[in-house]
Structure 1
Amino acid sequence: MRLTGDYNCMNCLSRILIIRFSSLGDIVLTTPFIRALKQRFPSSTIDYVAKEEYVPLIAHDPGIDHVYFARSCDGFKGLLALAKKLRRAQYDHVFDLHNNLRSRMLRTLLAAPSSSIRKENLKKFILVSFHKNLFKETVPVPERYARTATVFGVRLDESGPTIHVPSHVYQRAIRILESEQARSSDRSIALCPGARHFTKKWPLEKWIELAGLLLENKDTRIHLFGSKDESSCCDEIQRAYPDVISSFCGKLSLLETAAGLADCDAAVTNDSGLMHLATAVNVPVVSIFGSTVREFGFFPYRSRAVVVEKDDLSCRPCTHIGRKRCPRGHFACLNDITPRTIVQAIDDLLKPDSH
């Protein structure tokens, strides 16, 4: 945690600003911190800055008073305009949960006391490049966020991330599901085959095989979720079993996707933003991890979830973000995870005594 400002008064934060521009999963993981801040300072005003496309995720959080958006296309001029608007609020403290160039520029322009997340980039680099683990402990990202406010007595509760979906959005999403006859089965499983980087994507043919195994249970229906960019992948899976698979890739907003996930009995995901979104609406999750590892802090947090990974590979991790291709060529971290392993993980997760 990096701090700037005068800290003679530890109990007088009445106006607070949180900065986290992106991305989906990172923003979802800020919600335990929002909750903890509001519990510590219940009378405070808490505002938030995010990229425009992520504003709906935070706008309905009961701990947030106002969400301001920043657009990358507006450049430095847009950042100046945003800072001018934010300075009027005279924040007592700014929590920079992004700690990149843009967020540092913004908090400098605000000239308010601030603290920023420690990103441990050097330790990540050494772990990836030399496979030497300097992490003395594995600290989940929500807890790294919370460390920016330890000096103020802020402590996380025992719950995980939470996304608040307004009832009208939920009802709209359900109508869309019903229009696809996607609510007529006893068991619905969400498959989320997308991810931002190749080395985080379980191969398409394995998703198709997984769908076939799940559909051996005649009471099961499968829903596919993802962004518009992932539509082609989802379409291929749907074409394999068109009568019992519904694809909502690119058809729903972020909040509608959250509502659709909430209507499912379980979700299978890659290491992706939808993994965190699913946990935030209390859906049991089986997540498939490839090139990344627990030490980076992005495993499902305090939720009903299981991670399937090949933890015996000497080449993991090969990146802390993701790669366009496997540097060794074998892609064993994901190729060696079988669909039957995922089916077993789902069955174990849904057993009545599993939680």
Structure 2
Amino acid sequence: LPLMVERRYRELIRRGPLPGNPATVWEILVRAPNWVGDAVMSLPVLWGLRRLYPEASLTVLASPRVAPLFAGLPGLKEVIPYPMGWGKWRLLRSLRKRYDLALALPNSFEAAFGLWLTGVPYRLGYSADGRSPFLTLVVRGRRRLEGLHQVYYYLGLLTALGEVREFIPPTLSLTPAEREEGQVRFRFQAVNPGRPWVGLAPGAAYGPAKRWPPESFAQVAYRLQKEFAVNLVLLGGPEDREAALAVQDHSPAQILDLTGRTSLRQALMVLSQLKVLITNDSGLMHAAAALGVPVVAIFGSTDPRTTGPFSSRAKVLYQGLPCSPCLRRTCKIGYPCLAAITSEEVFQAAAPWLAEHP
């Protein structure tokens, strides 16, 4: 861990009893974050739990939106989809008395209350949202972690259970069969057979203050295809269809559009085949980084220090204007932080990854 992170961790305050001998902890339940990017950034917590409790089995409770991320991760016993509506209360009751320790990674009241309903004897989470009465082990002082990357924020919870001095960065893996499926998906759809694929992710769930203009994506796409003969693919969920269509409308480049046409797991397969992903601050950005795919990440209203791609193979473009990061969904003054990032900058950030290809 960086020394600054270690110092901040020492400022956290633990309240409540510890589980005791690690050998007595056999079953651990982890309530995962609800968004893809947050779920990816929480992955080091699972590795940390395996280190602290090597004999324990880990179960992840995750919304259906993010549950596929955890498939195939080493050391996981089970991934339980956490339903919406009244079904979640029935599920939580069905989990009663099955676990020795549980962690609430989201800061919401519901995450802690849900773990209380399961009857887990040791329930860990940050003090937030008035939920402390439903936790047995509370970490106070989370504001002292402001300015650190979200990866370190999630990992800080483990300081209540033991010393945290090392960690494994967010890492996703695919089976050989999944990687082969990703290759097959591209094999017969290449405009330029044998040439690399570049991904474009013009959407972002948070709002337009995180979305670089589609016409700018279109300009970069056209130039990359013209100068490097790359194949191009648009990626995103159904909510990103409008942005993807706008990119196609503004670009003469030939682009394969998979927006809204893949499951999350299939999107990971596609990401694994890319030479580089050009993306807004989004869940796909974090997933690509966790797969080891080079990323060009464009930031507007959010802060790359705290939610940037956690990867040495990433180039972040961020203007850092006096009003940045405002963390707003919309902007009353025309999104100057995004408008200031030019297509030339993005092209130059992506080009070195493509120059490596023969």
Q: Does TM, scored on the shorter chain, surpass 0.5?
A: yes
Superposed counterparts of 1:85-96, under 5 Å: 85-89=94-98, 91-96=99-104
Deviation at 1:8, TM superposition (A): 6.1
1:150 alignment counterpart: 159
Deviation at 1:30, TM superposition (A): 1.6
2:212 alignment counterpart: 202
Deviation at 1:117, TM superposition (A): 3.7
1:45 alignment counterpart: 57
Deviation at 1:155, TM superposition (A): 3.3
Q: Secondary structure at the match of 2:65?
A: helix
Deviation at 1:219, TM superposition (A): 2.5
- What amino acid does structure 1 have at the position aligned with 2:114? L
Superposed counterparts of 1:282-321, under 5 Å: 282-295=292-305, 297-311=306-320, 313-319=321-327
1:254 alignment counterpart: 264
Task: Rate the CA distance shift 1:201–1:50 in 2: closer, same or farther, 3 A.
Answer: same
Superposed counterparts of 1:52-67, under 5 Å: 52-67=64-79
Task: Rate the CA distance shift 1:108–1:159 in 2: closer, same or farther, 3 A.
Answer: closer
Deviation at 1:88, TM superposition (A): 3.5
Q: Could you tell me how far apart the structure 1 residues matched to 2:15 and 2:61 are?
A: 19
Asked whether the 8 Å contact 1:146–1:154 carries over to 2, the reply is: no
Q: Secondary structure at the match of 1:52?
A: coil
User: Greater relative contact order (Cα 8 A, min sep 6): structure 1 or 2?
Assistant: 1
The reply on whether 1:339 has 2:316 as its aligned counterpart is no
Q: Secondary structure at the match of 2:94?
A: helix
Task: Rate the CA distance shift 1:156–1:193 in 2: closer, same or farther, 3 A.
Answer: farther
Q: Could you tell me how far apart the structure 2 residues matched to 1:194 and 1:165 are?
A: 24
1:115 alignment counterpart: 124
Deviation at 1:183, TM superposition (A): 7.3
Residue by residue, what CA displacement relative to the aligned partner does 1:96-134 show, whole Å, maximum 9, x if unpaired? 1102122021122134312214679xxxxxxxxxxxxx8
Residue by residue, what CA displacement relative to the aligned partner does 1:8-51 show, whole Å, maximum 9, x if unpaired? 61523321111124111111112122122213322211111111
- What amino acid does structure 1 have at the position aligned with 2:244? C
Q: Could you tell me how far apart the structure 2 residues matched to 1:95 and 1:183 are?
A: 48
What stretches of structure 1 of length at least 5 have no aligned partner?
A: 121-133
Deviation at 1:270, TM superposition (A): 0.3
Alignment: residue pair count: 329
TM-score (norm 1): 0.84
1:130 alignment counterpart: none
Asked whether the 8 Å contact 2:234–2:258 carries over to 1, the reply is: yes
Q: Could you tell me how far apart the structure 2 residues matched to 1:256 and 1:60 are?
A: 14
RMSD: 2.5
1:69 alignment counterpart: 81
Q: Could you tell me how far apart the structure 2 residues matched to 1:114 and 1:307 are?
A: 37
Task: Rate the CA distance shift 1:29–1:156 in 2: closer, same or farther, 3 A.
Answer: farther
Asked whether the 8 Å contact 1:305–1:349 carries over to 2, the reply is: no
TM-score (norm 2): 0.83
Asked whether the 8 Å contact 1:182–1:223 carries over to 2, the reply is: no
Query: What is the aligned-residue identity percentage?
Result: 26
Q: Could you tell me how far apart the structure 1 residues matched to 2:145 and 2:54 are?
A: 34
Q: Secondary structure at the match of 2:183?
A: helix
Residue by residue, what CA displacement relative to the aligned partner does 1:271-300 show, whole Å, maximum 9, x if unpaired? 1101001111110111000011145x2111
- What amino acid does structure 1 have at the position aligned with 2:102? V
1:326 alignment counterpart: 331
Asked whether the 8 Å contact 1:37–1:154 carries over to 2, the reply is: no
